[in-house]
Amino acid sequence: MKRLRFSADRLALAGIGAAISLGAVILSFYVTNLSLSLNILAACGILLPLTKKYYREAILAYVAVSGLGGIFANIHVLSFVLIGGFYTILTVFMHNREPKIKWYITYPIKVAYSCFVFFVVYYLTDILVVNFEALNINIEPAGLLYFLLNLIFTIAFLLYDALLLWGYRYAIPLVEKITKK
């Protein structure tokens, strides 16, 4: 029976990715104007071990950043937990899986996950707040308003997904060149 072990190279790459992600998560809490950009940077930190297909190390980095980010950024770490960390690992895993998962299976999963994330950040937390009175928008049925916002969020989420996979494919040769022995 082969024993699974962590190598120093794998842990170092995951540690660097975790440090980038944790710094970005903490900064996104304190610099609210750049929170979206910093959350994307946090997802890029998790991408580092994933470029070498180090899934266990990426999960380890994700758990560490989520735990430490929860200490420093309280509930605002939730955007990283749901989108920047877990979703990044899930998307890269589905992208690299052999045999390949067909797009007509992955996209409904991604849309359902997008709806779940929107529900969490819109109803259960105060992370996403839209003041329609200040925007002078009046949409009467509350269900229609929720549907429209969820539709916009899902479109943005699928765009994020495409850019995430593009960034992943772009980062593979860069990380390979940097980590070459």
Q: Provide the residue ranges of all domains of the chain, joining segments of one domain with +.
A: 8-179
Q: What is the pLDDT along the chain (181 residues), one digit of tens a residue?
A: 566 666 888 889 999 999 999 999 999 889 888 888 898 999 999 999 999 999 999 999 999 999 999 998 888 888 889 888 899 999 999 999 888 888 888 899 999 999 999 888 877 776 666 666 666 666 777 677 778 888 999 999 999 999 999 999 999 999 999 888 6
pTM: predicted TM-score of the whole model, two decimal places: 0.84
Residue 13, exposed/middle/buried by CB under 10 A (0-12, 13-18, 19+)?
A: buried
